[in-house]
């Protein structure tokens, strides 16, 4: 046991040293939640253009066994003296304790009148323990919690009320997430999850030291933030988190399928806590919002989404990259910025609920009161076309995307899809028009092979013109070589061109 503790302590120290050394001393950590022609060639003598060949609430469920009491004295009072002594070796990066610069060390109360980002997350570091913590005692041990409640009918997160989840359309969420299971997950009964960790990697050496959970309870939204005052409290907090998630109809996160879930799963396995994720519906907002906004926003970070789509603007938010150092400073008994981490995590959880409400109105393109959704309407139409429920719906949204000025890669993808849909449905004139128009725009980019091959199929099968079909097939072979397709793909194109050459050749007398 003694050796295991020393090993864990050594890993914690190494992580702190790594954080201090990153970026010239700036701590590194969890990314903001939050894991981007050539014109047509000239014709040679006697050649035709490719286009020309085509002719003209959870209530009290879970945590029931917990006993809560206010935290008295320093939150880290139970930390072994040896751990505190070892941590004092210099993990921290903040100012010395007591150097407040004349600014308050405690933020304005969360859930108060500040709706546009709260207090200053970059306030001077303080040696005081985080405010408003309550100790929770379970069979597995004790840990600390900060709980904040907001009235969902009056609280505004940016321009959105949290009770707008009630107007969300589940089928829209399932569609844009490409997960049918989410069509039966009520947002009112889900848990909204965001974590803060001591590093990006998994395993025993990295701690999920704060877990923010949010859920609806009657007319309130509860923001529950479990916190490790020292590493030994990990198992108790993880058990409470697992219990809450197990009682929910599903969970909502942002980039959680790639990060939060795996970090929690790893730590639960190590701690001997049964993970609740198997079979639990999981809405990871990152993926549908990337579809809705790709190319229209500078990046896919959570704070970009909340600013541009919810009109929620944080004031001097503590960057996620400072979160590990804040915890290490606290463990070492140094001045820390944990209040900024609590605030950052709290706003993340509120944003999850508001963005889920937004997602549920995306197909209707308006809020419950009829107000239009913020965001790029053109890219929204592209996303709805590419997640359509049937071909008629897909063609309708493709047309809408073109009307709204879809451009670049998205336009080319939709042009290919539109032409193929018309050809497969036997709408010859519309298909020929779609292929011709797309090839006139560009017959040299990476979509050229699909357009040339589809146009060749149309000429051969629906129009009975193997000669023109062969010419397009030869152009497809040339494009495949130029674009560096795999040997197998190029072989298929050559086989098709040879077959059409035989069909187009005049019969021997």
| pLDDT above 60 (res 44) | no
Of residues 229 and 19, more confidently modeled:
229
Distances (CA, A) of 160 to 4, 259, 356, 457, 496: 48, 27, 11, 50, 56
Residue 202: predicted pLDDT: 61
- Average pLDDT over the chain, rounded to an integer: 83
State the span(s) of the chain assigned CATH 1.25.40: 411-504
Q: How confident is the model at residue 11 (pLDDT cuts 50, 70, 90)?
A: low
Question: In the prediction, which pLDDT does 497 show?
Answer: 97
- Using CA atoms, how far apart are residues 58 and 188, in angstroms rounded to an integer? 8
- Quote the strand ranges of 107-245, DSSP E: 134-138, 141-151, 156-157, 160-161, 191-197, 208-217, 220-227
Return d(Cα 418, Cα 382) in angstroms, integer: 12
**What per-residue confidence (pLDDT) applies to 46?**
46
Question: Does the domain formed by 411-504 have CATH 1.25.40?
Answer: yes
H or E segment at 466?
Answer: helix 466-482
Where, residue-wise, is CATH 3.30.420.10 in the chain? 78-93+116-359
- From the number of C-beta atoms within 10 Å of its C-beta (0-12, 13-18, 19+), residue 205 rates as middle
pLDDT score of 496 more than 50: yes
Question: What secondary structure, in 3-state letters, does 287-333 show?
Answer: HHHHHHHCCCCCCCCHHHHHHHHHCCCCCCCCCHHHHHHHHHHHHCC
Contact 379, 404 (CB under 8 A): no
Q: Is the pLDDT of residue 422 over 90?
A: yes
Q: Which two tokens stand for residue 87?
A: 């941590």
With contact defined as beta carbons under 8 Å apart, do 176 and 361 qualify?
no
pLDDT for res 156: 96
Note the pLDDT of residue 471.
96
Instruction: Report pLDDT digits (tens) over 145-199.
Output: 999 999 999 999 999 999 999 999 999 999 999 999 999 999 999 999 999 999 8
Write down the CATH superfamily of domain 78-93+116-359: Ribonuclease H-like superfamily/Ribonuclease H (3.30.420.10)
pLDDT value for 70? 62
Contacts of 408 (CB under 8 A, 6+ apart): 295
pLDDT higher than 90, residue 276: yes
Which of 430, 434, 444, 429 lies closest to 480, judged by CA? 444
Residue 267 banded pLDDT, cuts 50, 70, 90: very high
- Residues 198-251: pLDDT tens digits? 987 666 688 999 999 999 999 999 999 999 999 999 999 999 999 999 999 999
End-to-end CA distance of the chain: 93
What's the pLDDT tens digit per position in 292-304? 999 999 999 999 9
Residue 431: band (very low, low, confident or very high) from pLDDT cuts 50, 70, 90: very high
pLDDT higher than threshold 50 for residue 1:
no
């Amino acid at each position: 046991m003694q050796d295991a503790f020393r090993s864990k302590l050594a890993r914690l120290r190494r992580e702190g040293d790594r954080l201090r050394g990153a970026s010239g001393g700036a701590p590194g950590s969890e990314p903001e939640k939050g894991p981007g022609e050539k014109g047509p060639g000239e014709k040679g003598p006697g050649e035709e253009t490719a286009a020309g060949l085509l002719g003209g609430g959870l209530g009290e469920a879970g945590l029931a066994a917990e006993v809560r009491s206010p935290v008295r004295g320093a939150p880290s009072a139970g930390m072994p003296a040896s751990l505190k002594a070892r941590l004092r070796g210099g993990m921290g990066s903040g100012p010395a304790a007591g150097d407040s610069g004349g600014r308050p060390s405690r933020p304005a109360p969360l859930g108060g009148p500040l709706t546009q980002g709260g207090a200053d997350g970059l306030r001077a570091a303080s040696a005081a323990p985080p405010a408003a913590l309550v100790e929770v005692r379970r069979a597995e041990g004790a840990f600390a919690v900060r709980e904040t409640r907001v009235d969902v009918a009056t609280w505004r997160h940016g321009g959105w009320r949290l009770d707008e989840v009630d107007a969300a359309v589940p089928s829209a969420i399932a569609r844009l997430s490409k997960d049918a299971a989410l069509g039966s997950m009520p947002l009112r009964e889900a848990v909204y999850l965001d974590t803060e960790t001591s590093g990006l990697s998994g395993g025993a050496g990295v701690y999920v030291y704060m877990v923010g959970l949010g859920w609806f309870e009657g007319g309130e939204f509860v923001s529950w933030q479990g916190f490790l005052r020292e590493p030994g409290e990990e198992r108790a907090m993880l058990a409470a988190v697992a219990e809450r998630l197990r009682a929910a109809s599903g969970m909502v996160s942002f980039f959680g399928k790639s990060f939060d879930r795996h970090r929690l799963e790893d730590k639960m396995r190590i701690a001997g806590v049964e993970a609740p994720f198997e079979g639990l519906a999981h809405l990871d907002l990152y993926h549908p919002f990337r579809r809705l906004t790709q190319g229209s926003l500078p990046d896919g970070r959570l704070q970009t989404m909340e600013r541009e789509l919810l009109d929620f603007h944080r004031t001097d938010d503590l960057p996620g990259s400072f979160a590990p150092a804040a915890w290490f400073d606290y463990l070492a008994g140094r001045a820390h910025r944990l209040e900024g981490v609590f605030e950052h995590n709290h706003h993340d959880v509120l944003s999850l609920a508001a963005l889920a409400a937004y997602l549920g109105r995306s197909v209707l393109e308006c809020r419950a009161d009829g107000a239009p959704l913020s965001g790029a309407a053109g890219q929204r139409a592209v996303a709805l076309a590419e997640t359509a429920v049937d071909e008629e719906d897909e063609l309708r949204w493709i047309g809408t995307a073109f009307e709204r000025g879809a451009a670049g890669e998205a336009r080319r993808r939709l042009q290919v899809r539109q032409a193929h849909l018309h050809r497969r449905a036997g709408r010859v004139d519309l298909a020929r028009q779609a292929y011709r128009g797309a090839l006139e725009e560009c017959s040299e980019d990476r979509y050229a092979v699909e357009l040339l091959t589809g146009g060749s199929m149309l000429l051969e099968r629906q129009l009975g013109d193997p000669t023109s079909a062969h010419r397009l097939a030869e152009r497809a072979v040339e494009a495949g070589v130029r674009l560096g397709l795999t040997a197998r793909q190029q072989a298929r194109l050559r086989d098709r061109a040879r077959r059409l050459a035989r069909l187009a050749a005049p019969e021997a007398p």
